Amino acid sequence: MISDRISARGNALTACVMISDRISARGNALTAIVMISDRISARGNSLTASVIISDRISARRNALTAIVMISDRISARGNALAEIVMISDRISARGNAITACFMISDRISSRGNALTACFMISDRISARDNAITACFMISDKISVRGNALTAIVMISDRISARGNALTASVIISDRISARGNVLTACVMISDRISARGNALTAIVMISDRISARSNALSAIVMISDRISARGNALAAIVMISDRISARGNALTASVIISDRISARGNALTACVMISDRISARGNALTAIVMISGRINARGNALIASVIISHRISARGNALTAIVMISDRISARGNALTASVIITDRISARGNALTAIVMKSDRISARGNALTACVMTSERISARGNALTAIVMISDRISARGNALTAIFLISDRISALGNALSACVMISDRISARCNALTACVMISDRINARGNALKACVMISDRISARGNAVTAYVLISDRISARSNALKAIFLISDRISARGNALTAIVIISDRISARGNALAAIVMISDRISARGNALAAGVMISDMIIARGNALKAIFLISDRISARGNALTAIVMISDRISARGNALAAIVMKSDRISARGNALRAIVMISDRISARGNALAEIVMISDRISARGNAITACVMISDRISARGNALTASFIISDRISARGNVLTASVMISDRISARGNALTAIVMISDRISARSNALTACVMISDRISARGNALTAIIMISARITARGNALTAGVIISDRISARGNALTACVMISDRISARGNALTAIVMISGRISARGNALTASVIISHRISARGNALTAIVMISDRISARGNTLTASVIITDTISARGNALTAIVMKSDRISARGNALTACVMTSDRISARGNALTAIVMISDRISARGNALTACVMTSDRISALGNALSACVMISDRISARCNALTACVMISDRINARGNALKACVMISDRISARGNAVTAYVLISDRISARGNALTAIVMVSGRISAGGNALTGCVMISHRISARVNALTAIVMISDRISARGNALAAIVMISDRISARGNALTAIVMISDRISARGNALAEIVMI
C-alpha cells in the first residue's frame, strides 16, 4: 500500500497493491488487487476492482466493481458501475446502471438511464431518460433525450436523437440527428443523417448526407453521398447514389445505383438502376434494370451488381462487382474488385484483388495486392504481395516478401518471411516471422518466433516469445517464456515509432503508427494506424485511420476508415467513409468518396467525388472526376471528364471491328466484320458473323448469330440461335431461344424456352416457362397480379409482384419476387430478391440471393439465400444455407442451417447442424446438433448432446449438457455445463458451473466458478468465487476473491486470492498471494 492520504471510515480496505494520492471512503469496503489513482471518493459504496487506474473517481450510494478501471474522472450517483474493463476520461451517471465489458470513452453523461455495453468506445455520450445498450459502441458524441439506443456495433461521430428509438446492429456515421423519428438499421454507415418526423429503417445504410423531412426512408441497403427528400417517400432495397434530390416525388427502387439523380414532380421507380447522372423534371422514369454509363457523362459507369459464372479468367483486365460468385477466378495483370467474392479458387498474378468480403477455399497471389474487409479462406499463399483485410480468418497463411495487415487475424499457422504482419487482434497457434514487423493490438498465440523484427501489441498473450534484435512493446504482456536479446521491452498504451507534434493537440485512445508529424494541427482519432502522417495547419479526425503516408497542408482530413499508402493534399478537403489507396495527390481539389481505393491518383484543380474509386493510376488536370465506380489501370485526362472502363475477357479475336465496352467478361468472343459495344459482357462463347453485337450487359453461354443484329441492354441466356432475325432486348434471360424469320424485341425477356415462327414478340417484361406463339403477338410490361396459380409450369421473371402464388410441380425463378403468400409443393423457387409475408415450401428447393419474409416454413426442402430476412423460419428435414440470415425465430429439425451472418431472436435446432460465421440471436437451443460459428452473440444458449464451436461467443446464459463447447472468445453471464467439454481461448462470464465436465480456456474471467468432478484448466483465470469439489483446477494465473476446494487439487503458477479454504486437498503453487 503506497499512497499519500487514505481516509476510510467504517470500511475494510484490502488490496494487494494500492498506489494513490488521496482515497476517502465512508461506509464502504475497498478491495482491489491493484489500485492506482489520484483521488477516489466513495460514500455508501463498495469499491472492488482487480485493477483501478484513474485520476478522480467520485461515487455516492453506488457499487463500483471492475476488473480493470482506467479513467480520468468518474462521477456516479445512485448508480451501479460494474465493468470488466473501463477506460474513460469522464463518466458521469445519475440514477443509472452502467455495465460494460469494455468501456473506453472520453465523456459519458447519462441521467435516469441504463448504459450496458460489451465494448463502448466514445468521446462524449449524453443520454437522458434513455437506455443505451450496445455490444460495440464507438462514437465521438452521442446525445439522446427520451430515446432508447440499442446497437450491437455503434460507430459514429455525433448522434443526436430526441424522442426517438435508435436500434441498429451496426451504426457507423459522422452525424445523425433525428427528431420524433425511429431509426432502425442493421448496418448504418453515413456522414450526416438528419430526419424530422420521419422513420428511417434500413438493413444497410451507407451515405454521406441524408436529409428527410416528413418522409419515410426505408431501405435494405442504402449507399449514397447526398439524399434530400421533402414530402416524399424513399423506399429501396439497395440505393447507391452520389446525389439524390426529390421534391414532391416518390422514389421507389429495388436497386438504385447512380451518381446524381434530380427529380421534381416525378416518380422514379426501378428494380435496378445503375447510371452516372439522371436528371428528370416532370417525368416518370421507370425501369427494371437501367445500366448505363453514358448519361450526361463522358465515359461509362463500371458496375456489375451480381456476377455468377463458372470460370472467370482475366488477363490485363479489371474486374469489379458488388457480388461475385464463381468457381475459379484467375487474373493476371488485372485488378479484381468486388464487395462480395465467393469462389473456390482464386489465383492472381501481378494483380490487385480488392473485396469487402472474400470467401474462398484457396487464395494464391503472386506479386499482387489482396485487400478485403472480411477474408475467409482455408489456405492463403502470397508471394511478394500485400494482403490487407479487416477480418482475416484462415487455416494457413504463408506470406513471403509480403505485407499482411488485418484488424482481426484468426488463423492456425502464420509463416511470414521478410513480411510485415499488422493486426489489431491476432489469434493463431504458431507465428514465425523473420526480418518482419508484427504489430497487433491483441496477440494471442502459442508460439511466436521473431528474428530481427519488431513486435508491438497492446495485449500480448502467448506461450513462448523469442525475439532477437527486436523491440517488443506491449501494454499487457502475458507469456510463459520471453527471450529477448539486444531488445527493449516497454509496456506503453501509446504504440508508435516517432510522434512529433508542435502546437497541436494529439488525442487518441489507441495510436499505432510509425511517424506522425503535426504542426499547428489537431489530431483526434479513436484508432490511428499509419506509417507516416504529416499535417500542417490541418485537422485530422478519423474513427479508424490506417495509412502509410498522409501529407496534408491547409486541409481537413475526416474519415471513418482511411486506409492508404500515401495521401498528399494541398488546399483540399479530404472526406471519405472508407479511403483505401496507394498514392493520392490532390492540389486545390476536394476529394470526397464513400469508398476510395486506388494506387495513384493525381488531380490538379479538379474535384474527385466517387462512391467507389478503384484505379492504378489516375492523372487529371483541370478536370472533374465524378463516378459511381472508377476502375482503371492508367487514366490521363486533361480538361476532360473521365469515367473508367473495365475490360475482362479470356480471348477476344476481332477482325475489322471496333471493340468498346465498359465491362467485358467472356471466355471466347470471335467477331468478324462486326462492332462489339457493351457496358458489361459476360459470356462463354459468342460467334457473330456480319452482325453488330451491342449490349450493356450480356451474360450467356453460347450465342450464334448470322446476318443478324443482336442488341440488348442485359442478355442472360444459355443458348440463343437466330438466323435472319433481329434480336433486341433490354434484358434477355432465357435458356433457349430459337427464332427464324422473326423479330424479337422486348424490354425484358425472361423465359426457359421460346420458339417463335413468323411472330413478333414484344414485351417490357416477359415472364414464362414455355411460350409457343405462331402468328400471335405477346406484349406485357410487368406481370403484376393478385393470384397466380401454375401447375406443371415454370415461372421465371425479373420482377414478380402478386398477392398469392401457388405453384405445384413448377419452378419459380425471379430476380425480385414480391408477394404476400408463396406456397410451393415439389417445386424449385429461385430468386435474387424474395420479399413476401409467408413462404411455405414442401419438397422444394428455395434459392435466393436476398430473401425477406415474415414466415418461412420448409419441409424436406433446401433453402439457400445470400441474405435472408424473416420473422419466423421453420425447417424440417431441410438445409438452410444463407450468407446473411436475419430472422426472429429459427426452428430447424433434422436440417442443416449454414450462414455467414445469422441474426435472429430464437434459434432452436433438433438433430441439425448450425454453422455460421456470425451468429447473433437471443435464444439458441440445440439438441443433438452441431453449432459452429466464428462469432456467436446470443442471450441464452442451450445445447444438449451437441457440439458448439465458435471463434467468439457472447451470450447471457450458456447451458450445455453432454456437449462440447469450443470457442476462441467466450463472453457470457452464466455458463452451466454438465458432462461437457468447454474449451475457449478467452472466457468471460458471470457464473460458470460445471459438473463432470472439462473447462479449458486461455483466459477465464468470471464472477463465480463452481466445478464438481471436473477439470478446469486455464492460462489466466480471473473470478470472484471459485468452488471446486473433487476436481482439479490448474491455471497459470489464478486471480479470485474466494477459493474453496474440497478433496481437490488446485495447481497454479500464480495464485492471487482473498480467501483460500482447502479441506483434504493439495494446493501447489509457484507463487501464492
> What's the structural domain count of the chain?
4
- pLDDT of the residue at 165: 53
Helix (H, G, I), strand (E, B) or coil at 1048: coil
By mean pLDDT, which of 493-507, 744-758, 802-816 is the weakest?
493-507
**What secondary structure, in 3-state letters, does 649-708 show?**
CCEEEEECCCEEEEEEEEEEEEEECCCEEEEEEEEEEEEEECCEEEEEEEEEEEEEEECC
Clarify whether residues 504 and 482 are in a common domain.
no
Asked whether residue 453 falls in the same domain as residue 382, the answer is yes
In eight-state DSSP terms, residue 62 is -
387, 530: one domain = no
Q: Name residues whose C-beta falls within 8 Å of residue 187's C-beta, 6 or more positions apart in sequence.
A: 168, 169, 170, 171, 172, 203, 204, 205, 206
For 597, residues 6+ apart whose C-beta sits below 8 A from its C-beta are 337, 354, 371, 579, 580, 581, 612, 613, 614
Closest CA relative to residue 468, chosen from 455, 479, 484, 481: 484
Q: Which residues pair with 749 in a beta bridge?
A: 732, 766
Tell me if 747 is assigned to some domain.
Answer: yes
Cα–Cα distance measured from residue 139 to residue 173, given in angstroms and rounded to the nearest whole number: 8
C-alpha cell at 116: 450496458
- Cell numbers placing 290: 437501367
What residue numbers bound the domain in which 460 lies? 306-490
Query: 664 and 710: one domain?
Result: yes
Residue 932, C-alpha cell as written in the block: 459452429
In a domain, 291, yes or no: no
Mean pLDDT of the chain: 52
Instruction: Give me the torsion for CA of 16, 19, 20, 24, rounded to 10°.
Output: 20
Phi–psi pair at 741, nearest 5 degrees = 60, 30
Task: Report d(CA 822, CA 820) in Å as an integer.
Answer: 7
Considering the domain architecture, whether residues 560 and 518 belong to the same structural domain is answered as yes
Q: What is the pLDDT of residues 204-216, one digit of tens each?
A: 445 555 555 554 5
Q: Looking at the structure, do residues 444 and 541 belong to the same domain, yes or no? A: no
Per DSSP, the residues of 88-118 read: EEEEEEES-EEEEEEEEEEEEEEES-EEEEE
CB 1045, CB 1033: distance < 8 Å: yes
Pairing of strands 1049-1063, 1066-1072: parallel
SS3 content of the chain, % helix, strand, coil (to 5): 0, 85, 15
Q: Which of 463, 446, 466 is nearest to 455 (CA)?
A: 466
Residues 277-297 pLDDT 10s = 444 444 444 443 433 333 332
pLDDT digits (tens, 9 = 90+) for 629-661: 444 444 444 443 433 333 333 444 444 444 444
Classify strands 46-60 and 760-774 as parallel, antiparallel or unpaired.
unpaired
Measure the CA–CA gap between 411 and 951, rounded to whole angstroms. 11
Write 1018-1026 long-range contacts (CB < 8 A, 24+).
1018/987, 1019/461, 1019/478, 1020/461, 1020/478, 1021/1052, 1022/50, 1022/67, 1023/992, 1026/1057
What is residue 852's predicted lDDT score, i.e. its pLDDT? 57
- Which residue bears the cell 474440497? 1046
Q: How big is the chain, counted in residues?
A: 1073
pLDDT one-digit tens code per residue, 157-172: 555 555 545 555 445 5
**Per the structure block, which three cell numbers stand in for 199?**
422513420
Q: What is the pLDDT of residue 175?
A: 56
DSSP string, 445-501: EEEEEEES-EEEEEEEEEEEEEEES--EEEEEEEEEEEEEES--EE--S-EEEEEEE
pLDDT, tens digit (0-9, with 9 covering 90-100), for 877-913: 655 555 455 566 666 666 555 554 555 666 666 665 5
Instruction: Provide the pairing of β-strand 794-808 with 811-825.
Output: parallel
pLDDT for 328 beyond 60: no
Residue with cell 508542435: 502
pLDDT band at 125 (very low <50, low <70, confident <90, very high): low
Which distant-in-sequence residues (6+ apart) come within 8 Å of 80 by Cβ? 62, 63, 97, 98, 99
Determine the pLDDT at residue 705. 53
What is the band of 586 on the pLDDT scale with cuts at 50, 70, 90? low
Query: Strands 403-417 and 495-502: what pairing?
Result: unpaired
What are 332-353's pLDDT values in tens digits? 554 555 444 545 556 655 545 5
| Grid cell of 83 as nine digits | 465493468
Residue 898 is given by DSSP the state E
| Pick from 397-401, 501-505, 799-803, 980-984: least confident | 501-505
Q: What confidence score (pLDDT) does residue 186 get?
A: 45
Q: How far apart are CA 47 and CA 65, in angstroms?
A: 6
Neighbour tally for 344: CB within 10 Å = 11
For residues 996 and 979, is the Cβ–Cβ distance under 8 A? yes
In a domain, 95, yes or no: no
| pLDDT cut 70: percent of the chain above it | 0
Q: Are 309 and 292 in contact (CB under 8 A)?
A: no
Q: Are 785 and 802 in contact (CB under 8 A)?
A: yes
Share of the chain above pLDDT 90, in %: 0
- CA–CA separation, 814 and 793 (whole Å): 14
Same structural domain, 465 and 500: no
Same-domain pairing of 697 and 567: no
Q: Would you state the pLDDT for residue 315?
A: 47
Regarding predicted confidence, which is higher, 501 or 536? Answer: 536
- The answer to whether the beta carbons of residues 485 and 469 sit under 8 Å apart is yes
Burial of 658 (0-12, 13-18, 19+ CB in 10 A): exposed
Q: Is residue 675 part of a domain?
A: yes
pLDDT value of residue 334: 47
Burial code (b: 16+ CB inside 10 Å, e: under 16) for 47-73 equals bbbbbbbbbbbbbbebbbbbbbbbbbb
Side chain identity at residue 544, one-letter code: V
Q: Any residues with CB less than 8 A from the CB of 344 and at least 6 apart, and which?
A: 327, 328, 360, 361, 362
| The pLDDT of residue 665 is above 50 | no
Mean pLDDT of 471-480: 44
The three grid cell numbers given for residue 390, joined into one nine-digit string: 479487416
Do 726 and 742 contact (CB within 8 A), yes or no? no
Q: State the DSSP code for 1031.
A: -
Same domain, 627 and 712: no
Assigned domain for 80 exists: no
Residue 141's pLDDT band (cuts 50, 70, 90): low
pLDDT score, position 235:
52
Q: Which of 463, 490, 517 is the last residue of a domain?
A: 490
Domain boundary among 738, 762, 778: 778
Are 736 and 761 within one domain? yes
**C-alpha angle 812-817-820 in degrees, rounded to nearest 5:** 100
For the record, the C-alpha cell of 499 comes out as 510522434
pLDDT tens column, 817-873: 555 566 666 555 555 455 555 666 665 555 554 555 666 666 655 555 545 556 666
Q: Is residue 7 part of a domain?
A: no
Task: Please tell me the predicted confidence (pLDDT) of residue 1068.
Answer: 58
Cα–Cα distances in Å, from 335 out to 313, 348, 360, 371, 373?
12, 9, 17, 11, 16
Q: What element of type H or E holds 527?
A: strand 522-536
Residue-wise pLDDT tens digits, 726-776 = 455 444 445 555 555 545 454 444 444 455 444 444 443 444 444 444 443
User: Which residues lie across from 353 on neighbouring strands?
Assistant: 336, 370
Between CA 645 and CA 928 the distance in angstroms is 53
The strand pairing partners of 127, in sequence order, are 110, 144
Tell me, what DSSP letter sits at residue 649? -
For 129-157, the three-class secondary structure string (H helix, E strand, C coil) is CCEEEEEEEEEEEEEEECCEEEEEEEEEE
Residue 691 confidence (pLDDT) = 46
**Residues 475, 533: one domain?**
no
Q: How far is residue 623 from each of residues 570, 594, 601, 607, 619, measured CA to CA in Å? A: 17, 20, 13, 7, 10
Identify the domain boundary among 778, 813, 841.
778
* pLDDT one-digit tens code per residue, 210-237: 555 554 555 444 445 555 555 545 554 4
The answer to whether residue 405 sits within a structural domain is: yes
DSSP 3-state of 367: coil
Average pLDDT over residues 29-52: 55
Q: Strand runs (DSSP E) across 231-305, as ranges?
A: 233-247, 250-264, 267-274, 277-281, 284-291
> Does residue 468 carry a pLDDT above 60?
no
The string of pLDDT tens digits covering residues 1055-1073 is 566 666 666 555 555 555 5
Q: DSSP class of residue 215?
A: -
Q: 828 has which bridge partners?
A: 811, 845
Element (H, E) at 21: strand 13-26
Please tell me whether residues 610 and 687 are part of one structural domain: no
Strand ranges, E, within 300-419: 306-315, 318-332, 335-349, 352-366, 369-383, 386-400, 403-417
Region 386-410 average pLDDT? 53
pLDDT of 158: 56
